[in-house]
Amino acid sequence: MAVSTAARPGAKVAPRDRTRGNPKVTRGSILATAFMFVCAVYFLLPAWWLIVSSTKGPSTLYGSEGFWFSQLHLASNLTGLFSYDGGIYWRWLVNTLLYAGVGAVCATMLASAAGYALAKYEFRGRQLVFSVILGGVLVPGTALALPLYLLLSKVSLTNTYWSVFLPSIVSPFGVYLARVYAAAAIPDELIEAGRIDGASEGKIFRTVALRIMSPALVTMFLFQFVAIWNNFLLPLVMLSNTRLYPVTLGLYTWNNQYGQAPQLVSYVVIGSLISVIPLVIAFLSLQRFWRSGLTAGSVRL
Amino acid sequence: MAVDHQQVAGPAAPGKPRRRRRRRGGRAGLAPVMFLAPFAVLFALFFLLPIGYAIYESFLKVHVSGLGLGPSSTTTVFAGLANYTQVFSDPSFRQGVGRVLLFGVVQIPVMLLFATVLALLLDSVVARFKRFFRLAFFLPYGIPGVIAAILWSFLYLPGLSPVVAALHGVGFGTVNFLGAKSVLWSIANIVTWEYTGYNMLIIYAGLQAIPADLYEAARLDGASEWKVATRIKLPLVTGALVLTAVFSIIGTLQLFSEPQVLRAVTDDISSSYTPNLLAYTQAFTDNNPNYAAAIAVVLAIGTFILSFGFLKLVQRRGARMGV
């Protein structure tokens, strides 16, 4: 990055820059890079430990050097993980995909329609509706879990898929992002043009607005995915049937049980690793969408 | 904006604007409701209603008559503010609040300073391998809080942890990460590990939005990279910093999953360690949902006041400084 930007401007600018800043920059850049390297070690070392430990058997997990490999048990760990308790780990992965994946898709659709309506239509009470939703941004998921439990237990809806899924698809922050983005990115003329062509409001939204909003949709999806995936309290209070658990709750219960079943330590380790691999990859490759969404969020504040 | 339409639509077709206006009043008049309704209904059902119901429950109390046996011996009665006075006089609630406040006062500034330094370094011209570093710093955010807490609990556990072993090896003795005094800071480390990269990215996004020519001039005048960072860049990302601070305050007051997970490996985290943990225990272990509802309401209002108050405070100070 630094090299390409320095090389691109004409020869006139580059040498001046270099002569002026050279001695200082080199020392500074070594120090800065060294500091960032130490920080990178701090952030990556636990992940490295997880990878190394997931290849170890229950005995070497305790006895051997933690940050290096010893006695490869990866295959037996994997078969153990996926067959334990009738292969319930599979079930947890599928549930997680349902709660966080499908949930985030639904949340994005709902929030984009609502944000579009708030950005592009004049109607009475618009400001009030937006203020209430904005207040919802400041209410975190954990604060809501217990009230939700009290309410849903009254109507006997706890311990079902719906009890976790339905609350998860409400994303006030998504509405906020969609509104900010739609207001800035969708020209009124385009909507007008659609109307003149005789398209229905719904069709304009589907064919014009959603296409323009697509970068924001990815950001909203990511935010909500993480919010659902990270909301541990909600499934913890709602679900008692282990077959409905998301993978986080499942690993948490195993983690509390390994006093009785020592092999569970290995399964918790490798189960954690497997559950985060797809997510980490998706995260890192979609990073630019985080940045664009975060800019929209912070610029407004 | 409205003027623009007229200019675009006007010359092309003089008859169109009137028809458009009629349409907006008719078909388009229902359209925003249709777009808004699905979200609004779910928002009301799963956001507003539970809050309302929790408030309602918090004013009730289960009255036990006689020995408390049999279904007819308990009745739910209106309790007024009794649950709330109990919350505020409950020593375990006070201790929990004090604990998360202490946690927040230390952990939030440390994390945000850390995140700001990393963001400024990534944005500066001195650093190398920026792409790799950005990915490395952000990676922990991809790991959900529960799994991060489980992972770190292994790294704190004597006998399993290579960190404890390494510290022992270089002569620190057996460091106890899970003792009564140290465990709060061990939790702070988990939270810092998880969220520094995320906050860094918010600040970094703010930095990237600054047009480069704003400080190119200063650089050409010989301003050091340090001066550019503190005098030009930092004031311009105040908005991003405020955002990260508000999110951190909210997260801290709601602290739950990290201490709950660590309870598996230490006895020094009580069942009322944080206010949220207390509410959970009251609802599920002590079977006292009305009291739990009162705690949840107090906590939600407290969170709202603190984060909102912080926003207002910063805005007012910003206005005074002319930012």
Q: What is the pLDDT of residues A221-244, one digit of tens each?
A: 988 998 898 889 999 999 999 999
Residues A103, A21 share a domain: no
Whether chain A has a CB inside 8 Å of the CB on B138: the answer is yes
pLDDT (0 to 100) of residue B306: 86
Most confident of A257-266, B15-24, B90-99, B284-293: B90-99
Contacts A195 to B, Cβ<8 Å? 20, 23, 28
Q: Residue B320: which pLDDT band, with cuts at 50, 70 and 90?
A: low
Asked if residue A60 is part of any domain, the answer here is no
Contacts B124 to A, Cβ<8 Å? 32
Whether pLDDT at B295 is above 80: yes
CATH, residue A275: 1.10.3720.10
Tens of pLDDT along B264-281?
A: 888 899 999 999 999 999
Asked if residue A69 is part of any domain, the answer here is no
Residues A128, A21 share a domain: no
Q: Are A159 and A241 in contact (CB under 8 A)?
A: yes
Range scoring the smallest mean pLDDT among A23-37, A258-272, B81-95, B155-169:
A23-37
| B172 CA to centre of own chain | 35
Write out the residue range of the structural domain in which residue A283 sits.
74-300
Residues A134, A14 share a domain: no
- Fill in the DSSP letter of residue B71: G
- Quick check: A49 and B151 CB within 8 A? yes
SS3 A125: coil
Q: How far apart are CA A223 and CA A22, in angstroms?
A: 42
User: Tell me, what amino acid is at A65?
Assistant: E
Residues A267, A159 share a domain: yes
Domains of chain B, earliest start first? 2-58 (no CATH), 91-321 (1.10.3720.10)
Whether chain A has a CB inside 8 Å of the CB on B10: the answer is no
Residues A261, A145 share a domain: yes
Residues A286, A142 share a domain: yes
Q: How far apart are CA B256 and CA B282, in angstroms?
A: 14
Range scoring the smallest mean pLDDT among A137-146, A179-188, A288-297, B49-58:
A288-297
Residues A80, A25 share a domain: no
Whether pLDDT at B31 is above 90: no
Asked if residue A21 is part of any domain, the answer here is yes
Asked if residue A232 is part of any domain, the answer here is yes
- Quick check: B147 and A251 CB within 8 A? yes
Asked if residue A68 is part of any domain, the answer here is no
Q: Residue A152: which pLDDT band, with cuts at 50, 70 and 90?
A: very high
Q: Residue A254: which pLDDT band, with cuts at 50, 70 and 90?
A: very high
Asked if residue A84 is part of any domain, the answer here is yes
Residues A183, A245 share a domain: yes
Residues 184 through 223 of chain B touching chain A, CB cutoff 8 Å: 193, 196-197, 201-202, 204-206, 208-209, 222
Residues A179, A34 share a domain: no
Whether chain A has a CB inside 8 Å of the CB on B47: the answer is yes
Crossing angle of the two packed helices B275-284 and B91-123, in degrees rounded to 10 = 130
| Predicted ipTM beyond 0.90 | no
Residues A104, A42 share a domain: no
Asked if residue A196 is part of any domain, the answer here is yes
Domain count, chain A: 2
Residues A49, A113 share a domain: no
pLDDT (0 to 100) of residue A120: 92
Mutate to test the interface with B, among A27, A50, A142, A267 (most CBs of B within 10 A): A142
Say how many CB pairs under 8 Å bridge A and B: 299
Q: Are A120 and B19 in contact (CB under 8 A)?
A: no
Distance from CA of A86 to the nearest CA of B (A): 22
> From the list B33, B137, B254, which residue is nearest A39 (CB)?
B137
Contacts B289 to A, Cβ<8 Å? 150
**0.95 cut: is pTM over it?**
no
pLDDT (0 to 100) of residue A168: 94
Farthest-apart Cα atoms in chain B, separation = 88
pLDDT (0 to 100) of residue A296: 57
Residues A264, A164 share a domain: yes
Q: Which long-range contacts (CB under 8 A, 24 or more apart) does A192-196 make?
A: A192/B5, A192/B8, A192/B9, A192/B20, A195/B20, A195/B23, A195/B28, A196/B9, A196/B13, A196/B16, A196/B20
Asked if residue A67 is part of any domain, the answer here is no
Tens of pLDDT along B128-141?
A: 788 889 889 989 98
